[in-house]
Structures are given as C-alpha cells and as structure tokens.
C-alpha cells in the first residue's frame, strides 16, 4: 500500500472580497507515485486547489498534510523545494541561461559545480533537449515547447517527490503538446513522481491521469480512475463533461484491462494478443480491419489474463453513452 503523499482535510478557500468559496469542503488523499489530473472549467477551483498545496494560496479553513505532517508546520522554503512547480506561463528567468535557470535551487542548496552541471545535463536529456545545444541559451532563444521543457527540468532540479503542474501545456500547439504529454507519461513511469496536473482539457485529463479529480463550483464532483469516470460518472455534471469527448476519444483512454472478460489461463488460442495496457481504440481498429471477433489480453509476462470480444467492446462504449446521455 502506497503512502499518502498529500491529504486535504475539509479544506475551504474564500478569497477576500469574494462572496463565494473558490474551494469548499475538499477531502482527498493522494497516494505517493500516482498521476492525478484535476479537471474543471475556469472558475471551478481547480487552480486554487493546486496552489494551496505549495502555499501560494493559504486555505481559509481545513488542513493540508504532506506525508502526514500539516504543511503549516513546515519551513516554507524548504517545503516548497520538495515540490516541483510548473505553470502555464513557464516563468523562466529571462536574464539567466537554461543552465542557470535549472541550477537555481541546487545552487542555493550549495551543491558543488560539478554536481550541478551533471544534474543539469541529466535533466535536459530527460526532457529531450540536447545539453550541448541548449544549456548556454537564454529563454528568449527557445520556442514555447522548449521553454516548457526547461520549466519542467527546472522544477525537477532538486528531485522533488511531488510535482504540481498548472495547465503546463495549455499555451502550446497541438502536436508539440502531444509529444510533451507522452514524454511526461514516460518521465512519470521512470521516476515514479507524484504528479498533480491541472487541466481544462478533458482529453488531456483522461490521457495523462491514473486517476482524475473532477471539480466544479469549488467542490470535487468525482475522484476516480479514468475507467470509473467514463463508465460510472458520479453525477450529471461529470456525465456532461465526459460526453464532450466522442466515443473514439473515450476508447483511446480506456485500457484493455479495464473491460476484459475473465478467461481460462490455460487457453490455447491463436487469436491476436494485445497488452493489457492497450487502448480500446487500437482494439476497435483491429476488429474493423480483421475478420476476428475476439482478442486475448496478456500481461507484462506475456501470459493471458483475459479476452475482449466484439460484443464486450460495443457494450463498454454503450455503457458510457447511456450514462452520459
């Protein structure tokens, strides 16, 4: 059982001069190592929710815990250094090179020069920028996508256990955004960071998150795995939000393991095999292109763990459709 990285206990936030609560009565536990996306329209309280974690905003009432400790009790700067922070506008320091930007916190922590240089090179490679070409550049010499890669590298410099990301890819063109999303998924798998990722893009939330928090009017509407959100929306609002994605989009984020039927593990079957991580969209494509009516699902060790039939696939899309109508 993973430890709880961040816990909200009945947290509310009301801005001065605002009549309504931006966030009200939020309770949530976020497990270490999970990738959580926080989805909502503007004004839903999703950004306020995120920014209370690193104390950019202070809650009006309630308590936030970091690995069991109330965050008010922790020294502010030290605590923030354990939490990577990436925002949409990136906020790179324009008077510093890429290298200096990424090395800001390591330098304050008094790492020696060699260690900083190694760390910078390692991080630039992680975000797919060649250290040789990029470390001496200034922010204005980078494209929007490259700037956000540097922003991501900078946030990870001191190896924080938690990353907060506020619509980091919101201002980036569609193709670059897809690449960045895929790279972020890889980075998360590799480093097992706990990520809280705010977005208003339903597709992005479903694609990136292991679990999704859906916020509306300052309250959490639903917190669950992507499959649960799509197949069992907790209320009308969630159903309507998810319905903005068409069936094909939804199939893209559903994984084989979430809808597969149990099967005798000793089955000897020549049917096509897919990984349990495969998207239903791929399986649908396969069905449409071939004359088969089922595929077998296998795990990492290549043993069969289930099967998906054409009828099952159809049922899984219907389920979502009926509920979201």
Partner 1 sequence: MITYLFKYYEQMSMLLLEHLYIVFLSMMISLLFAIPVGLLIARSKWLSTVVLSFFGIVYSIPSLALFSFLLPVFGLGKLTAIAVLVIYNQYILVRNTLTGFQSIDASIIEAGYGMGLSARHMFFKIQLPLALPIILGGIRIATVSTIGIATIAAVIHAGGLGILLFDGLRMNYLPKILWGTILSALLAYLANYVLLSYETKAILKARGEYNEDQEGAEVSS
Shortest CB 210 distance to partner 1, Å: 24
Quick one: which segment of 87-95, 236-244, 247-255, 285-293 binds partner 1 (CB under 8 A)? Answer: 87-95
Binding mask 205-234 for partner 1 (x = CB under 8 A): ------------------------------
Nearer to partner 1, 168 or 218 (CB): 168
Secondary structure (H, E, C), 100-117 = HHHCHHHHHCCCCHHHHH
The one among 81, 219, 232, 276 contacting partner 1 by CB under 8 A: 81
Nearer to partner 1, 5 or 87 (CB): 87
The one among 41, 141, 186, 285 contacting partner 1 by CB under 8 A: 141
Secondary structure (H, E, C), 236-264 = HHHHHHHHCCCHHHHHHHCEHHHHCECCC
The one among 92, 165, 226, 238 contacting partner 1 by CB under 8 A: 92
Contact call for residue 89 and partner 1 (CB under 8 A): yes
Which long-range contacts (C-beta less than 8 Å, at least 24 apart) are formed by 78-82? 79/54, 79/55, 80/54, 80/55, 81/105, 81/109, 81/158, 81/160, 82/158, 82/160, 82/161, 82/162
The one among 115, 136, 292, 318 contacting partner 1 by CB under 8 A: 136
Handedness of CA 244, 207, 198, 182 (dihedral sign): negative
Contact call for residue 282 and partner 1 (CB under 8 A): no
Contact call for residue 102 and partner 1 (CB under 8 A): no
Contact call for residue 96 and partner 1 (CB under 8 A): yes
Taking the CA of residue 128 as centre, how many other CA atoms within 13 Å lie in the half-sphere pointing to its CB?
A: 13
Contact call for residue 74 and partner 1 (CB under 8 A): no
Nearer to partner 1, 91 or 144 (CB): 91
Contact call for residue 161 and partner 1 (CB under 8 A): no
Contact call for residue 68 and partner 1 (CB under 8 A): no
Contact call for residue 90 and partner 1 (CB under 8 A): yes
Distance CA 106, CA 112 (A): 9
The one among 28, 56, 234, 263 contacting partner 1 by CB under 8 A: 56
Nearer to partner 1, 105 or 308 (CB): 105
Contact call for residue 54 and partner 1 (CB under 8 A): yes
Length of the chain: 325
Distance CA 32, CA 169 (A): 23
First to last CA, the chain: 37
Spell out the residues 6+ positions from residue 234 whose beta carbon is closer than 8 angstroms to its own: 221, 222, 224
Quick one: which segment of 30-38, 130-138, 184-192, 293-301 binds partner 1 (CB under 8 A)? Answer: 130-138
Quick one: which segment of 9-17, 137-145, 227-235, 308-316 binds partner 1 (CB under 8 A)? Answer: 137-145
Quick one: which segment of 7-15, 74-82, 209-217, 220-228 binds partner 1 (CB under 8 A)? Answer: 74-82
Nearer to partner 1, 138 or 310 (CB): 138
What percent of the chain is helix, strand and coil (3-state, nearest 5)? Answer: 40, 25, 35
Distance CA 134, CA 139 (A): 10
DSSP letter string over 186-250? HHHHHH--EEEEEES-HHHHHHH-SEEEEEETTEEEEEEEHHHHHHS-SSHHHHHHHHTS-HHHH
Spell out the residues 6+ positions from residue 269 whose beta carbon is closer than 8 angstroms to its own: 296, 304
The one among 77, 264, 291, 300 contacting partner 1 by CB under 8 A: 77
Residues engaged in binding partner 1 (CB under 8 A): 54, 56, 76-81, 83-85, 87, 89-97, 104-105, 108, 136-141, 151, 154-155, 158, 164
């Amino acid at each position: 059982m993973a430890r709880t990285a961040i816990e909200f206990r009945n947290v509310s936030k009301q801005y001065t001069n605002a009549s309504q609560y931006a966030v009200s009565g939020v309770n949530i536990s976020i497990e270490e190592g999970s990738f959580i996306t926080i989805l909502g329209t503007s004004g839903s309280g999703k950004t306020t929710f995120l920014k209370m974690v690193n104390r950019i905003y202070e809650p009006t009432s309630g308590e936030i815990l970091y690995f069991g400790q109330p965050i008010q009790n922790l020294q502010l700067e030290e605590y923030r250094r354990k939490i990577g922070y990436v925002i949409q506008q990136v906020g790179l320091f324009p008077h510093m090179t890429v290298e200096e930007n990424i090395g800001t916190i390591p330098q304050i922590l008094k790492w020696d020069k060699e260690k900083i240089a190694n760390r910078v090179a390692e991080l630039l490679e992680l975000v797919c920028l060649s250290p040789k070409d990029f470390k001496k550049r200034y922010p204005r010499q980078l494209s929007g996508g490259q700037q956000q890669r540097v922003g991501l590298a900078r946030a990870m410099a001191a190896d924080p256990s938690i990353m907060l990301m506020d619509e980091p890819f919101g201002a980036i063109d569609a193709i670059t955004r897809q690449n960045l999303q895929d790279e972020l998924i890889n980075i998360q798998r590799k480093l097992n960071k706990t990520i809280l990722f705010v977005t208003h893009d339903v597709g992005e939330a479903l694609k990136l998150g292991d679990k999704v928090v859906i916020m509306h009017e300052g309250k959490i509407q639903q917190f669950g795995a992507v499959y649960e959100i799509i197949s069992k929306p907790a209320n009308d609002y969630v159903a309507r939000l998810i319905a903005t994605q068409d069936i094909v989009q939804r199939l893209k984020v559903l994984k084989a393991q979430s809808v597969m039927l149990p099967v005798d593990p000793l089955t000897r079957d020549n049917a096509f095999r897919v990984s349990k991580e495969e998207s239903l969209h791929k399986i649908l494509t396969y069905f449409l292109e071939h004359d088969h009516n089922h595929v077998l699902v296998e795990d990492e060790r290549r043993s069969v763990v289930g099967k998906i039939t054409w009828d099952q696939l159809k049922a899984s899309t219907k389920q979502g459709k009926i509920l979201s109508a």
